[in-house]
Amino acid sequence: MAQITGGLTTSHIPAIGGAVPREDALRSDPYWKPFFDGYEKAREWLHAQNPDVAVVIYNDHGLNFFLDKLPTFAIGAAFEYRHDDEGWGIPTIPPFHGDPELSWHIINSVSAEDFDLTTCQEMKVDHGFTVPMSLFWKGNTYWDVKTIPVCINTVQHPLPSPARCYKLGQAIGRAIESYPKDLKVVVLGTGGMSHQLDGERAGFINKKFDQWCIEKIVDDPEALAAISMHDLVKEAGAQGAELILWLTMRGALSTKVKKIHSNYHVAISNTATGLVVLENVA
Amino acid sequence: MSYAKLRGEPIPGTYIFDGEAAMKGYALNKMCYSFNSAANREEFLKDEDAYCHKFGLTDEQRQAIRDKNVLGCLRAGGNIYYLAKFTGIFRLSVQDLGAQQTGRTVDEFKAFIKSQA
């Protein structure tokens, strides 16, 4: 049977996409050092897991989806996913392998639990997906891992509530663990932490709230799931609503998890960065 | 200024991109979404008026684009993720946008971010 071995969260700020190819040089740069230093332990853990599949919970920022057809929850069911020009200069990176058979298993399984996903046989993945993959698989060495993109709307309100996302994550977790093939699976939840790009409140960061989230995501995700979207936007900033992606990831893990590592840094670009590595406890 | 219609008190300085904004800003956002393509970015730079006309921007949207005025674009229904593809044409970063929206210099804006560490 397929087994979820753990989950990772990381911010996916576009500036990181530009910095990743120069990571070794930037490790001595005081701006980047506190950020990149956090990833050593995460990569060590991930490489020891040697996962076959990464399910990546992320949000599209207007590369694949537009407002003409904007799904709340979408999933890739393709053999390959490609990054593309996002319009403002992030370097594009090599394609990702998919696992459409597992995608359809997840689609069918969560549908039986009343989660109706938009299924995508063609899907471009943007920095919400690619930056974390580049960070965790240094040098874009992700060729032997298959990926399943799960895209959640954070563009247009109403966004799905934290509680709904947590439940979707739980359904995805049950789906994966009922898959008959012996696969090791990790789940990534990308985005966050507090940030706001637009409006007179641009630049807002809430360290206290972020640190509370990093604590709660480990042992008390229900506390995060209980937050309303209004309070999330208020506490984490307009784009800090991406916490719902972390929460979806957490839902897919076991009730009890072991925290392997976490890192928090203010800030890269306009965003407080957070990294959490959680291992499933059988 | 338009405020949150999420349930709860309005969040000052925060534009909630909901159905109303999405309808108001559709032409503007559609144009900005087109800037994923380098060919479209070039076409815009070659003849800004013609390109805006093609997408049917309102006068308010046209003026905000002409002025590269982010708050103006937001008030005209723009969504920041699509707008970033417009401002990216001019190599403006989200920190440049933050500075413009908050009336700070870019250095002041960066210092403000850091002050919250």
Question: Cβ–Cβ contacts within 10 Å for residue A139, how many?
Answer: 9
> Is A195 marked active-site?
yes
Picking from A87, A157, A231, the nearest residue to B17 by CB comes out as: A157
Q: How many Å separate Cα A184 from the centre of its chain?
A: 18
Picking from A84, A155, A201, the nearest residue to B17 by CB comes out as: A155
Q: Are A183 and A89 in contact (CB under 8 A)?
A: no
Using the predicted structure, report yes or no on whether residue A16 has a pLDDT greater than 70: yes
Chain B 13-32, residues with CB within 8 Å of chain A CB atoms? 13-19, 22, 26, 29-30, 32
- What integer pLDDT is reported at residue B1 of this predicted model? 39
Decide if B97 and A158 are in contact by the 8 Å CB cutoff: no
Q: Are A75 and A120 in contact (CB under 8 A)?
A: yes
Residue in the structure block whose two tokens are 């590595």 = A277
Q: How many Å separate Cα A203 from the centre of its chain?
A: 22
Decide if B17 and A85 are in contact by the 8 Å CB cutoff: no
Number of Cα atoms under 13 Å in the Cβ half of residue B45? 12
- Contacts B98 to A, Cβ<8 Å: 197, 202-203, 270
- What integer pLDDT is reported at residue B43 of this predicted model? 98
Question: Cβ–Cβ contacts within 10 Å for residue B107, how many?
Answer: 10
Average pLDDT over residues A209-237: 98
The reply to whether B80 touches chain A by the CB within 8 Å rule is: yes
Here the tokens at position A133 are 């993959």
- Contacts B64 to A, Cβ<8 Å: none
Average pLDDT over residues A183-187: 98
- Contacts B36 to A, Cβ<8 Å: 62-63, 84-87
The band of A33, judged by pLDDT with boundaries at 50, 70 and 90, is very high
Domain that holds residue A115: 3-280
Q: Could you tell me where the DSSP H helices lie in chain A?
A: 14-19, 23-26, 33-36, 39-49, 100-111, 127-136, 162-177, 207-219, 221-225, 229-236, 243-252
- What integer pLDDT is reported at residue A282 of this predicted model? 75
In a domain, B103, yes or no: no
- What integer pLDDT is reported at residue A251 of this predicted model? 98
In a domain, B10, yes or no: no
Q: Strand A118-120 relative to strand A73-76: parallel, antiparallel, unpaired?
A: parallel
- Catalytic annotation, pick one of A127, A157, A261, A265: A127
In a domain, B112, yes or no: no
Distance separating alpha carbons of residues B94 and B99, to the nearest angstrom: 9
Give the helix/strand (H/E) hosting B54: helix B48-55
> Is A127 marked active-site?
yes
- Show pLDDT as tens, one digit a residue, over chain B (117 residues): 344 456 778 899 999 999 999 999 999 999 999 999 999 999 999 999 999 999 999 999 999 999 999 999 999 999 999 999 999 999 999 999 999 999 999 999 999 999 999
In a domain, B85, yes or no: yes
Distance separating alpha carbons of residues B58 and B52, to the nearest angstrom: 9
Picking from A67, A233, A234, the nearest residue to B29 by CB comes out as: A67
A279 min Cα distance to partner chain B (Å)? 28
Picking from B1, B29, B97, the nearest residue to A197 by CB comes out as: B97
Q: How many domains does one find in chain B?
A: 1
Domain that holds residue B58: 19-90
- What integer pLDDT is reported at residue B4 of this predicted model? 44
**Exposure b/e, A43-68, CB count within 10 A at least 16 = b:** eebbeebebbbbbbbbbbbbbbbbbe
Q: Are B91 and B85 in contact (CB under 8 A)?
A: no
- Contacts B113 to A, Cβ<8 Å: 203, 205, 266-267, 270
Name every residue whose Cβ is closer than 8 Å to that of residue A52 and which is 6 or more positions away in sequence: A145, A146, A183, A184, A185
Q: Which residue of A has its CA nearest to B33?
A: A62
In a domain, B95, yes or no: no
**Three-state secondary-structure class, residue A241:** helix
- Catalytic annotation, pick one of A12, A105, A195, A265: A195
**Exposure b/e, B66-105, CB count within 10 A at least 16 = b:** eebbbbbbbbbbbbbbbbbbbbbbeebbbbbbbbbbbebe
The percent of chain B in helix, strand and coil, each rounded to the nearest 5, is 65, 0, 35
A200 min Cα distance to partner chain B (Å)? 4
Decide if B36 and A62 are in contact by the 8 Å CB cutoff: yes
- What integer pLDDT is reported at residue A152 of this predicted model? 98
**Exposure b/e, B18-55, CB count within 10 A at least 16 = b:** beebbebbbbbbbbbbbbbeeebbebbeeeeeebbeeb
Picking from A15, A63, A157, the nearest residue to B16 by CB comes out as: A157
- Contacts A16 to B, Cβ<8 Å: none
Decide if A199 and B14 are in contact by the 8 Å CB cutoff: yes
CATH code: domain of residue B23: 1.10.700.10
- What integer pLDDT is reported at residue B2 of this predicted model? 44
- What does pTM read for this prediction? 0.97
**Three-state secondary-structure class, residue A212:** helix
CATH code: domain of residue A33: 3.40.830.10
Q: Are B3 and B10 in contact (CB under 8 A)?
A: yes
Q: Are A209 and A235 in contact (CB under 8 A)?
A: yes
Q: Find, among A252, A251, A154, the residue nearest to A195 by Cα.
A: A154
- What integer pLDDT is reported at residue B5 of this predicted model? 58
Q: How many domains does one find in chain A?
A: 1
